[in-house]
Structure 1
Amino acid sequence: MTQQNTAEGTPAQNDHAQSPEEALAAAAVAEADALAALTNELAELKAKNADLADQYLRAKAEAENARRRADEEIAKTRKFAVESFAESLLPVLDSFEAGLSIQEASLAQIREGSEATLKQLQSALTRHKVIAIAPAAGEKFDPHQHQAISMVPADQEPNTVVAVLQKGYLIAERVLRPALVTVAAPK
């Protein structure tokens, strides 16, 4: 039995005692398995890369389309921004034309027509948030809304409005034109 054990060896000894061909075959199988795993991983990564590239291109196209639509909307808004304002001024124009078409109008009729037309114009401006800046005498001078034309001696506090030479206007709380005023000089 001793000879048989030495000739056949133990199973543990058989694993370690491979022939060079067997070792080479085992290494080739291991290398083939590793190559197959790497090939599979490469295929998965390529598929994921293609998917991400597609998602990127779609997102880029969507962003470009959104930018283009926004640009078109801004262009339309700019083009037609005054449409509503112009529509509200048309009745004022009609009133002026109607008043001028009367050849033999009396002074009272002209005044009455002018006052009605002025009310229409003021109404149109108010509807579009155009508000007059007309400070009262004695009101503190505000350089953001008033433009001082001159400083005059007056019996009131210095740096207060003495008189309004021309009304100013705000549009949506932004100064469209400052009011032209004279201001009380320091004493």
Structure 2
Amino acid sequence: MTQDNNNLENSEIVDELPEDASPAADAVTERLAALEEEVAVAKQDVLYAHAETQNVRRRLEKELADARAYASTAFARDILSVADNMGRALSMIPADLREDEQWKGLVTGLEATGRELESVFRKNGIEKLVSVGEPLDPNKHQAMLEVPSADAEPGTILTEMQSGYMIKDRLLRPALVGVAKKPD
């Protein structure tokens, strides 16, 4: 019953309000509308801040993934000269020396070392570019000379002076190549 008595008393008080109380109610209504607008703006600001935080987190995760993937880039560039020298050494061994029992162990060891180096490259996402016979791609190749050729299409790579390499999807080192041109 006390609830009913309170409701009855409140309605009597409202009925007893003077006529000039209406502007005060309008002021309360306006203040309430202003507060609701401020709440809406604050909610929007919170949503923007949350979205910005997610964007920063995603960007940092991508940068971290890139740092992990490409952290060895400088080292890989330095080790490429070792791979080049190993390849040159193996290619310079004459066939008769390869068959000589006295040198066979050394040759086999050098070949195994070359294979191991290639395996390490593969494990770390480093791939040798295939250049000879391909069209010149300035994003992967550096043309060092033009060779007159009636057989090859102009712009086709005929020779490779130094191998190019990619690490993941980035160029580690361009291939130094000789490109076909129309004969004079």
Task: Tell me if 1:32 matches 2:21.
Answer: yes
Provide the aligned length of Structure 1 versus Structure 2.
Answer: 138
Deviation at residue 168 of structure 1 after TM alignment: 1.4
Alignment partner, residue 141 of structure 1: 135
Q: Give the alignment partner of residue 160 of structure 2, picking from 152, 157, 164.
A: 164
Change (3 A) 1:151 1:67: closer
Which secondary structure state, in structure 1, belongs to the residue aligned with residue 135 of structure 2?
coil
Matches of 2:149 and 2:180 in 1, distance apart? 5
Question: Gaps (5+ residues) in structure 2?
Answer: 1-17, 80-101
TM-score (norm. length: structure 1): 0.54
Matches of 2:29 and 2:108 in 1, distance apart? 90
1:105-157 per-position Cα deviation (integer Å, ceiling 9, x unaligned): x7444433332232232223234443222333xx2531333322112344523
Which secondary structure state, in structure 2, belongs to the residue aligned with residue 81 of structure 1?
helix
Q: What's the C-alpha RMSD, in Å, of the aligned pairs? A: 3.5
Q: Give the alignment partner of residue 125 of structure 1, picking from 121, 128, 136.
A: 121
1:17-66 per-position Cα deviation (integer Å, ceiling 9, x unaligned): xxxxxxxxxxx72x432x13412312321330342243244334424533
Matches of 2:166 and 2:122 in 1, distance apart? 10
Task: Tell me if 1:73 matches 2:61.
Answer: yes
* Contact 2:136 2:157 (C-alpha < 8 Å) held by counterparts: no
Change (3 A) 1:50 1:161: closer
Matches of 1:132 and 1:113 in 2, distance apart? 22
Instruction: Give the letter for the 1:148 counterpart.
Output: A
Q: Which runs of 4+ in 1 moved over 4 A?
A: none
Whose Rg is larger? 1
Matches of 2:152 and 2:181 in 1, distance apart? 8
Instruction: Give the letter for the 1:81 counterpart.
Output: A
TM-score (norm. length: structure 2): 0.54
- State percent identity of aligned pairs: 25
Alignment partner, residue 151 of structure 1: 146
Ranked by relative contact order (alpha carbons within 8 Å, sequence separation 6 or more), the top structure is 2
